[in-house]
Amino acid sequence: MKKTKMITLLSLLVGGAASGAPTGPELPKEVKTMDCLVGKWNGAVTMKVGDSSTGVKMTWDCRHASGNFGVQCKAEMTGIPGMKLYQETDLFGYDPGAKKYHWFSVTNGGETHDHQAPIPEGNVIEFVYDGLQEGKPFKEVIKMSFGADEKSMDFSSETFVEGKSTALMQGKASKK
């Protein structure tokens, strides 16, 4: 009896969720815009912390997610001081109510951020995360500029603690 109730409940939940999903063939323009991320990226980054700078290599593998309403990526970086391999899992999505993009990221450095960006007017998008680091105000600003062919990208990531820049990463990546 319990098994039958559970199956019935699951059927109702799944059926209810499916009936509330958009049924039209067209994804919103803001969602389709995220397609520029899809693919396998390779890049070279310069990371500057204080007076020290180092070269970092990165890969970023991005695929469609959630019925093409999102993009899921896995990044790996080598060359970051103090870490043999830096790993990050990302999920990009668009919130039509707030008219903002979200970039959720989780890293093996213990970071979990929800970056947000307004709809860009050109080929540059700026994601910002505001939070705390060791109880102090922390901000991360990531800018990405895509080439017209969507196979190249310039990017920067700058972090601030208490309003002071603490690290800057700048680089280029290309899509295979």
The answer, yes or no, to whether residue 92 has pLDDT greater than 90, is yes
Is 27 exposed, middle or buried, given 0-12, 13-18 or 19+ CB atoms closer than 10 A? middle
Three-class SS string for 8-30?
Answer: HHHHHHHHHHHHHCCCCCCCCHH
Three-class SS string for 54-86?
Answer: EEEEEEEEEEEECCCCEEEEEEEEECCCCCCCE
pLDDT at position 56 is 97
Q: How confident is the model at residue 176 (pLDDT cuts 50, 70, 90)?
A: confident
Average pLDDT over residues 142-165: 96
> Mind listing the pLDDT tens digit for each residue in 71-83?
999 999 999 988 9
Over pLDDT 90: what percentage of the chain?
Answer: 82
pLDDT at position 26 is 85
Question: pTM here?
Answer: 0.84
